[in-house]
Structure 1
Amino acid sequence: LIPLASLVLAACTTTKPTGPATSPTSPQWRAHEQAVQQLSTYQTRGSFAYLSDQKKVYARFFWQQFSPERYRLLLTNPLGSTEMDLNVQKNVVQLTDNQGKRYVSDNPEEMIRKLTGMAIPLNNLRQWMVGLPGEASDFALDDQYRLSKLTYQQGGQTW
């Protein structure tokens, strides 16, 4: 009786139907990718967690993209106080910290790393926010040909 029951149960299993292939070489992905690359102004907000062996940071972010070369990143702590306000324009980066002190540079990633200890890949982050994989070594698309996950490695860190 037990072997018969296991045979019946095995015969009742179903497999999830697979949809159309969502390959990064598909024409649908290429069309979506080209459309997203046309975005030059947008804004988004969300939560941010940076976890490394040396540092753990939890914050909210507000990103405003004004043009392809001009953007603002505001990080606030869980209580809503400003931790960092980064303004980037072509060849000029200005960062204001939580004490109101201003710093100027020409490299936003390097400035953030020096001042906060966080190595944030801003150029890739900008692409990830609009649904492009950037320099990710591995990424997956959902059934609507949108970016659903990615893996990016930089300096021993995995994003």
Structure 2
Amino acid sequence: MRFKHFFFTTIFCLLHTSCSINISNTLKYRLTWENQKNALKKIKEFQINGYLLCFSRKTKIFSWFLFKQYSPQHYDITFINPIGQIQLKVVFYKNIFKITDNEGKMHINQQPEITLFKAIGLKIPLNSFNKWMIGLPEKKQKYSLKDHTYVNELQCFYKKKLWKITYSYHKNKKTLPLLPNWIKIKQENDFIIFNINKWILK
């Protein structure tokens, strides 16, 4: 009787160990940068919301934000103050920018970074902005990986100035793509932090 108990216990342990190894290997195989990058490239439409903190020599801002991408060539981001008023809305569509300020005035493709700078104190490179939000570097942008899986930091030069973007992710997620829940965009001593509350992929 003891022998049977030992035999079945041994078989169970071997099967359990085998399954654990297989699952672990599968996750290790799936969670690679190449698979993460391919999964990010497949994202066409998404929505995120949360709040941001902006610290610059010009201003310090707390704001809610809503970011919507309809396609890689069409996105908008709305900045909302703590009492629910829209402070700024940026719309990008096929290389044309439309920015509506808190007075309802629309600025179409008239140096959008400068208009944004007047509002939040940072001239963010808007052409790369939607890719930065999902953690996908563009060509010629330097980047480093965390756990050989996702972008920990990326760098780019825009108008001879160095921008650094760092990321934090949900640690317990085991499926691709891994999406950031915290993003810091920095240029010298000025920076903006996006704390993301919710992702919706469509």
| Alignment match, 1:97 | 101
Distance in 2 between residues matched to 1:96 and 1:142, nearest whole Å: 41
How much is the aligned-residue C-alpha RMSD, in angstroms?
Answer: 2.8
Distance in 2 between residues matched to 1:107 and 1:67, nearest whole Å: 23
| Alignment match, 1:17 | none
Aligned length: 132
Q: Could you list the runs of 4 or more consecutive aligned residues of structure 1 that deviate by over 6 angstroms after TM superposition?
A: none
Kindly indicate whether residue 52 of structure 2 is the aligned counterpart of residue 48 of structure 1. yes
| Alignment match, 1:5 | none
Whether contact under 8 Å (1:91, 1:106) holds in the other structure is no
Structure 1 position 29, deviation (Å)? 0.6
Which of 32-41 and 47-56 deviates more? 47-56
Kindly indicate whether residue 106 of structure 2 is the aligned counterpart of residue 139 of structure 1. no
Greater RCO (CA < 8 Å, at least 6 residues apart): 2
Which structure dedicates a bigger proportion of its chain to strand?
A: 2
Which of 103-112 and 60-69 deviates more? 103-112
| Alignment match, 1:7 | none
DSSP 3-state at the match of 1:122: coil
Which of 113-122 and 39-48 deviates more? 113-122
Fraction of identical pairs, as percent: 27
Q: For the structure 1 residues 43 and 137, does the alpha-carbon distance in structure 2 shift closer, same or farther, using more than 3 Å as the test? A: same
Structure 1 position 106, deviation (Å)? 6.2
TM-score where L is the length of structure 2: 0.55
Q: For the structure 1 residues 50 and 116, does the alpha-carbon distance in structure 2 shift closer, same or farther, using more than 3 Å as the test? A: closer
Unaligned residue ranges in structure 1 (runs of 5+): 1-19, 21-26
Distance in 1 between residues matched to 2:76 and 2:54, nearest whole Å: 19
Kindly indicate whether residue 81 of structure 2 is the aligned counterpart of residue 82 of structure 1. no
Distance in 1 between residues matched to 2:50 and 2:145, nearest whole Å: 22
- Pairing partner for 1:122 from 116, 120, 126: 126
Structure 1 position 110, deviation (Å)? 4.4
